[in-house]
Amino acid sequence: MALFSSPPKSLCILRLSAIGDVCHAIAVVQAIQQHWPETDITWVTGKIETQLIGNLPGIKVVTFDKKAGLKGMLAVWSVLKGQKFDALLHMQAAIRASALSLGIKAKYRVGFSRNRTKEGQWLFTNKHLPNTDSFHVLDNFADFARYIGVPFTAPNWNIPLTDEDIQFAKHYTADKKTLLISPAASKDERNWLTERYAEIADHANQQGMQVLLCGSPAPREINLGKSIEQHCQYPVVNLIGQTNLKQLTALLGQADVVLAPDTGPAHLATTQGTPVIGLYAHSNPKRTGPYNSLDIVASVYEQHVEEQQGKPIHDLPWGTRVKGTDLMQDISVEHVKNILAGILSTANQR
């Protein structure tokens, strides 16, 4: 039986980070909005993520500055003082998020199922999702919607972009076939090899495409972009560090194909309907890959996880990761070229 038999008056969503997971959560929250348009929704999230969801229609966003520590928590609690929600959907099984939840008042505090929770989240919640076979992170989030009484079948996203954001993106895509490469994952060991990014960029140029490089202003990402440029024989447009989150989203939407490792822009591209060639070695793409492009990922995760664990992949716990600093080198250029060729062939047939 669903938690609510009629629409609740108010819900609080607690999902602080990261960009990819917030993208997954957006689809679920917007499904709740569509089913219960009169329900007031408040979303507590991180500073960077606020750039993405700050103007989602019908959602009050409260920003948590994790760098401020306890002061940041007190600031959130001050904003929410005097409010008591019908339910808190605690969609982040991390101790920092659970500590923050202590100052959010709600009748029901809903956490992950016992076979998906971690870091003691069950201690901070009074309702738990039933144990689930849902595998992808987005499907685990969707279980929250189903638990409270909202049907969920397939994800849809509505992320508002301004005309300026769209014109910014069109300036760089200019009606040309575009491959956008977002080369940097959260950890360098999860990046593909620099010279292989360059080889794919050159190959795309030879196929009549233009190539954009995008990413954050972090020095490690800027340096990676410069290194890729240096390895390229054909020109690329390097926009790493030169876009805000909404401009990046618009660029991802205007691109024809995105190439990325396990990183937030892969999921942003999914929200815009752009196919993503995901590059995976350390985590299972069936769990964390670009949701609508799981059939076109280039993955060596399966072989490495079975080698390290000594078991077939179907016998391993959900979320099992692979350790190593040189795993991504096992993704070949030819494999990625073949995936790209298939995408372009399908597009040309439309």
pLDDT tens, position by position, 85-139: 999 999 999 999 999 999 999 999 999 999 999 999 999 999 999 999 999 999 9
CA angle 8, 11, 17 (to 5 degrees): 155
What phi and psi values does residue 145 have, to the nearest 5 degrees?
-60, -50
**d(C-alpha 32, C-alpha 14), whole Å:** 15
Q: Among candidates 200, 166, 209, 170, which has minimal Cα distance to 182?
A: 200
pTM: 0.96
Tell me the per-residue pLDDT of 274-310, one tens digit each, with 9 for 90 and over. Answer: 999 999 999 999 999 999 999 999 999 999 999 999 9
Q: How far is CA 176 from the centre of its chain?
A: 26
How are strands ordered across the β-sheet holding 237-238?
A: 237-238, 210-213, 178-181, 257-261, 276-280, 298-299
| pLDDT of 27 strictly over 90 | yes
Burial call 48-64: b when 16+ CB within 10 Å, e when fewer: bbbbbbeebeebebbbb
Judge whether residue 143 has pLDDT over 90: yes
SS3 for 119? Answer: coil
Looking at residue 350, its pLDDT comes to 59
For residue 41, the cross-strand partners are 11, 59
* pLDDT (0 to 100) of residue 71: 97
Residue 252, classed as helix, strand or coil, is helix
* pLDDT score of 338 more than 90: yes
Query: What percent of the chain is modeled with pLDDT above 70?
Result: 99
Could you identify the residue written with the tokens 């998906």? 116
Q: What rounded mean pLDDT belongs to the chain?
A: 97
* Res 347 pLDDT > 80: no
Q: Read off the pLDDT of each residue in 208-216 and give the average, rounded to a whole number.
A: 97
Phi, psi of 64 (to 5 degrees): -110, 125
pLDDT at 348 over 80: no
Q: What is the pLDDT of residue 175?
A: 82
- Which amino acid is located at 279 in the chain? L
Report which DSSP code applies to 101: H
Q: Which two tokens stand for residue 332?
A: 């070949």
Report, as an integer, the average pLDDT of 69-83.
97
Summarize the confidence of residues 313-336 as an average pLDDT: 96
Helix H or strand E encompassing 309: helix 301-309
76 to each of 33, 84, 89, 117, how far by Cα in Å?
Answer: 23, 14, 16, 24
Q: Distance between CA 47 and CA 149 in Å, rounded?
A: 30
From the list 343, 328, 344, 19, the residue with the least C-alpha distance to 197 is 328
